[in-house]
Structure 1
Amino acid sequence: MGDLGGVVLRSGGPADAGAVLRLLDDATAWLVARGRSGQWGTEPASTDPRRIAQAEAWATGGGLWLAQAEDRPVGALVVGTATEYVPPATEPELYVNLLVTDRAYAGRGIGGRLLAHAADLAHERGVGLLRVDCYAGDDGALMRWYERQGFTPTAPFTVDRPNRLPWPGQLLTRRLRPTH
């Protein structure tokens, strides 16, 4: 499904939970190396029982898409329903639950292509709203990246976490063309 300079999109399934965890682990290590541990912490997702269960749920839930280069997943997108910590939508939507890319492929537009695929999926379902949330801490670079992808910040929020600092988040929306 779709080729982007040797990167192909395909639907994911139960066998892909490990690939999602690897992408998360690599992204976490990349963030930590740059002093940006607020987004996903410092520990690998693959050692956290909660994150392992989350990856398995994503892989079996029907909303996982992978960007693949030479038989190696280099990006993951999960779409579905909104998480419990954001305000509910007031109209039908498709929600981006996860977007992560392999930093070795940075600059190749993989994240943008995965978001474009999410918009295509929403359009196919007759939905005119795409929402995503992201980490709003540090210098706001991630929020600005989503804005460059056509999203508009709507509602900031905070996730309280036991024994850890609160997580500052930002909800963003992207209006899609009408489907009628």
Structure 2
Amino acid sequence: MQETDKPLLIRRATALDVPAVLQVFDEVMAWFVQIGNEGQWGSEPWSALPRRVQLVEDACALPEAWVVEDEHGRLLAALILGEAQPYVPAATEPEIYVRVLVASRDARARGIGRCLLAFADDRARAAGVQRLRVDCYGGGSGALVQFYESCGYARISTFSVDGWPGQLLGRSLCNQGRGGSAAV
């Protein structure tokens, strides 16, 4: 969970959230550059790249686009659920696909990625779906893959998109009781 006891709100994203979501991506990009992780998304701020801006605009328009904001309305994270990305194998059963999960480097956002993945589990259960998948950067130190594994996801397959190493992971809710709460 977050380091403070201040309540955080998960709500549906709208087109008005695009600048704040881009700001979170830019913040993460600056951190990636600082730690030498340009392999994941490059080194340019997302807000400076028209293709990335369009990706965020499209994502925020999806019906399962969610954002998290603090008590002051500052956006701290985004979660986009939907259909599988076109570069991964098609699903063999109904699923919820985690298309985007990004969280601010702000201390108030600490632990929010895990909370949002629990929220995704809850959305899957509400939809009567037992399977979730996600893809992520499979290069670098492997820390991102390990994060998803620590959240109950298992490696399915690796892939490459124009030399970018990816990892596809999945999670089944079939044999699990009601997990963590969606409240943050």
Match of 2:167 among 150, 170, 178: 170
CA distance in 1, matches of 2:41, 2:27: 11
For structure 1, the residue ranges without an aligned partner over 5 or more in a row are 161-165
What is the total number of aligned residue pairs between the two structures? 171
Q: Which residue of 1 aligns with 2:19?
A: 18
Instruction: Give 3-state SS (helix, strand or coil) of 1:66's partner.
Output: strand
Instruction: Give 3-state SS (helix, strand or coil) of 1:39's partner.
Output: helix
Query: How big is the shift at 1:108?
Result: 2.6
CA distance in 2, matches of 1:81, 1:71: 29
Query: How big is the shift at 1:105?
Result: 2.6
Q: Which residue of 2 aligns with 1:67?
A: 68
CA distance in 1, matches of 2:110, 2:99: 22
Letter in 2 for 1:72: R
Hey, which bits of structure 1, 4+ residues long, moved more than 3 A?
Answer: none
For structure 2, the residue ranges without an aligned partner over 5 or more in a row are 177-184
Q: Which residue of 2 aligns with 1:152?
A: 154
Percent identity (aligned): 44
Instruction: Give 3-state SS (helix, strand or coil) of 1:103's partner.
Output: coil
CA distance in 1, matches of 2:7, 2:174: 29
Query: How big is the shift at 1:27?
Result: 0.5
Mapping of residues 22-171 of structure 1, within 5 Å: 22-69=23-70, 70-105=72-107, 108-160=110-162, 166-171=163-168
Instruction: Output the TM-score relative to the length of structure 1.
Output: 0.90
Contact 2:79 2:100 in 1 (8 A): yes
Query: How big is the shift at 1:178?
Result: 6.8
Q: CA RMSD in A?
A: 1.6
Query: How big is the shift at 1:106?
Result: 6.7
Contact 2:28 2:104 in 1 (8 A): yes
Contact 2:103 2:109 in 1 (8 A): no
CA distance in 2, matches of 1:112, 1:146: 9
Contact 2:76 2:109 in 1 (8 A): no
CA distance in 1, matches of 2:69, 2:174: 28
CA distance in 1, matches of 2:8, 2:111: 10
Letter in 1 for 2:98: V
CA distance in 2, matches of 1:177, 1:67: 27
Contact 1:128 1:178 in 2 (8 A): no
CA distance in 2, matches of 1:77, 1:107: 13
